[in-house]
Structure 1
Amino acid sequence: MPQQQRRTRPARLVRGAALAGGLALLPLTAACGGGEDDTPAEDRSSRTPTVSAQQAQVVAPAKVEVIASLTGCKVRIRVQAEELREGSCHTADGDYLITTFPEEKYKEIWLDSISMYQGTYLVGTRWVVSAQPKMLNEFRPRLGGDIVHLTGAAGPSIAPSPS
Structure 2
Amino acid sequence: MTAAPEAAAVAPAKVEVIANLTGCKPEIRIDADELRQGICHTEKVDYLITTFPEEKYKRSWLDSAAVYGGKYLVGTRWIVSAKEPEMLEQFRTKLGGTIEELTGIGPSVAPSAS
| Bucket of the pairwise TM-score, normalised by the shorter protein | 0.7 to 0.9
1:32-71 per-residue CA deviation (whole Å, 9 max, x = no partner) reads 59xxxxxxxxxxxxxxxxx532x33xx3422000000000
Deviation sequence 1:62-111 (CA, Å, 0-9, x none):
20000000000010100000000000000011100000000000000000
Structure with the higher fraction of residues in helix conformation: 1
Which sections of structure 2, spanning at least 5 residues, go unmatched? 106-114
Comparing 78-87 with 60-69, greater Cα deviation is found at 60-69
Higher strand content, 1 or 2: 2
Provide the C-alpha distance between the structure 2 equivalents of 1:152 and 1:105, rounded to a whole number of angstroms.
20
Contact 1:60 1:66 (8 Å CA) reproduced: no
Are the equivalent residues in 2 in contact too, given 1:122–1:130 (CA < 8 A)? yes
Q: Unaligned regions of 5+ residues in structure 1, if any?
A: 1-29, 34-50, 154-163
Residues 60 and 75 of structure 1: is their aligned pair in 2 closer, same or farther, counting only changes over 3 Å? farther
Q: Counterpart amino acid of 1:134?
A: E
2:53 matched residue in structure 1: 102
Shift of 1:139: 0.4
Q: Which has the larger radius of gyration?
A: 1
Say if 2:66 is the partner of 1:112.
Answer: no
CA distance in 1, matches of 2:31, 2:24: 19
Distance in 2, Cα, partners of 1:106 & 1:31:
33
Q: How many residues align?
A: 104
- Which of 55, 58, 62 is 2:13 aligned to? 62
Question: Aligned match of 2:6 in 29, 52, 58?
Answer: 52
Q: Greater RCO between the two (CA within 8 Å, min separation 6)?
A: 2
Secondary structure in structure 1 of the residue aligned to 2:34:
coil
Tell me the secondary structure at the aligned position of residue 133 of structure 1: coil
Alignment of 1:1-163 (within 5 A): 52-53=6-7, 55-56=8-9, 59-131=10-82, 132-152=84-104
Q: Which runs of 4+ in 1 moved over 3 A?
A: 30-33
Q: State percent identity of aligned pairs.
A: 65
